[in-house]
Amino acid sequence: MKYYSIRIVGALCFLLICPFSQSLATDYYLATYDEIAEGLPHDVNVKKIDLESAFVVGNVTLRHGGSLWNEKPLIIDVQSHKYFLFAIETGVYAKNSGPGAETTFVFIINDSLDITRGQHFSNASIDHFEQFADDGGFRFELRAANDTATIFRRGIYNLDVNFQPRRIRDFITGLGTGDIRELDQFEYLHRLNNNPDNIFYSVMSGGVFYLLKLNSDNTIIVSSITASRRFASDIFAFHQDTQLLYLFHLNYEQHGKFPEYEKNYGEDWIEPHVLIYNPANFELVDSLPIADFSPGNYPLSESGQGDVVGDFIVYYFFEDEWIGRFNPAMLFIFDTRTNEATWLRVGWR
């Protein structure tokens, strides 16, 4: 597997605090598919990225084949040590999953990429396996595939000293701690993590994202910024050190089953740029150009908040066009100290 990177100089990135904080200041963990031989299922690998060098410094194979449930880890503390959880399903109609009995695999690894525990559940299907900010655990629900009987009851879980799931409490689907249900035209408002200015975001139909500033008691929308991904990906972030709000507009490609939805390199292209705002009043502070990815190393269109890891702003593009085709998995990295960004190809999605 080759890793491709494009050094982007002179760019100022936007940043957003991610609900999934990474374990070390300069390390980032993700999962991806890797081709081992043409015509065979892809490996499911977890990789450790050194953000300082923008290079893959570690790799572990979880399974040969299987559909990856979460491309970024669920992060859990066990006796003051951080562990990363990943889930894989086989026997389902999904990418990299062939016919057979439906089975769920859960892996727990440490920050050295050692597999601490691996467990499989036959005739099992995942309903929830995710993590929101301030959950104090991870959201989990597992049921029998043939009759929907409960295996692990829906709830927020942590891990005991033997790495066994232990249920803490229930949760509200789609809402994290500090989020808001139903305000004005918005059904869900998600808090932009660690910002002190009552800033939320919400996605509407058609992929339109809103950044919303509320009043002090979160009952009135004071101002808003709209981002539509018709011809661009819209990624946003708040950075604690700079105390600024960043909104990126980035190009993308799409290659799938239907020719009418194809979007090739250079087609409906924009000049990639970042808009920088004062979070206190949403006043535009600056607008700067951003270098593009190289031909052949492309993301799909995505919108959402980026991950903040120390001085770095990171976004992992992993959304899929079609299960019948593997496409590049791309990681976008921005160093706030140097205003230098990098596109890193980390595998396949």
Residues 231 and 284 in one domain: yes
Cβ neighbours, 10 Å, residue 108: 20
Residues 164 and 84 in one domain: yes
Residues 59 and 126 in one domain: yes
**What is the DSSP secondary structure assignment for residue 207, as one 8-state letter?**
G
CB pairs under 8 A, 24+ apart, for 77-84?
A: 78/159, 78/160, 78/161, 78/163, 79/161, 81/110, 82/23, 82/110, 82/111, 83/108, 83/109, 83/110, 83/116, 83/159, 83/163, 84/23, 84/29, 84/46, 84/108, 84/109, 84/110, 84/111
Q: Distances in Å between the alpha carbon of 158 and those of 81, 120, 163, 172?
A: 13, 18, 9, 17
Residues 181 and 160 in one domain: no
Cβ neighbours, 10 Å, residue 283: 9
pLDDT of 19 strictly over 80:
no
- The CATH number of the domain holding residue 329 is 2.40.10.480
Residues 1 and 68 in one domain: no
Residues 165 and 267 in one domain: no
Q: Distances in Å between the alpha carbon of 155 and those of 67, 134, 137?
A: 23, 14, 10
Give the tokens for residue 124. 């099992």
Domain count, the chain: 2
In tens, the pLDDT along 283-309 reads 999 998 988 999 999 999 998 899 998
SS3 content of the chain, % helix, strand, coil (to 5): 0, 50, 45
| Mean pLDDT value across the chain | 89
**Range from 6-20, 65-79, 280-294, 330-344 carrying the lowest mean pLDDT:** 6-20
Amino acid (1-letter code) at residue 150: T
Cβ neighbours, 10 Å, residue 26: 14
Q: Of 170, 195, 224, which residue sits at a domain end? A: 170
Domain boundaries, position 277: 1-19+174-349
Using an 8 Å Cβ cutoff, are 198 and 166 in contact?
A: no
| Average pLDDT value for residue range 87-115 | 96
Rounded-to-integer distance, Cα 64 and Cα 48, Å: 19
pLDDT of 10 strictly over 60:
no
Q: In 133-253, which ranges are E strands?
A: 138-144, 150-159, 165-169, 180-183, 186-191, 199-203, 208-214, 221-228, 233-239, 244-250
Residues 289 and 218 in one domain: yes
Residues 198 and 299 in one domain: yes
In tens, the pLDDT along 241-283 reads 889 998 999 999 999 989 999 999 999 999 999 899 999 999 9
Give the tokens for residue 349. 């999605």
Residues 145 and 158 in one domain: yes
Record the pTM.
0.89
pLDDT (0 to 100) of residue 17 = 33
Residues making up the chain, counted from first to last: 349
Residues 239 and 347 in one domain: yes
CA 191 to chain centre: 16
pLDDT (0 to 100) of residue 25 = 64
Residues 259 and 314 in one domain: yes
Q: Of 122, 149, 170, which residue sits at a domain end? A: 170
Residues 322 and 344 in one domain: yes
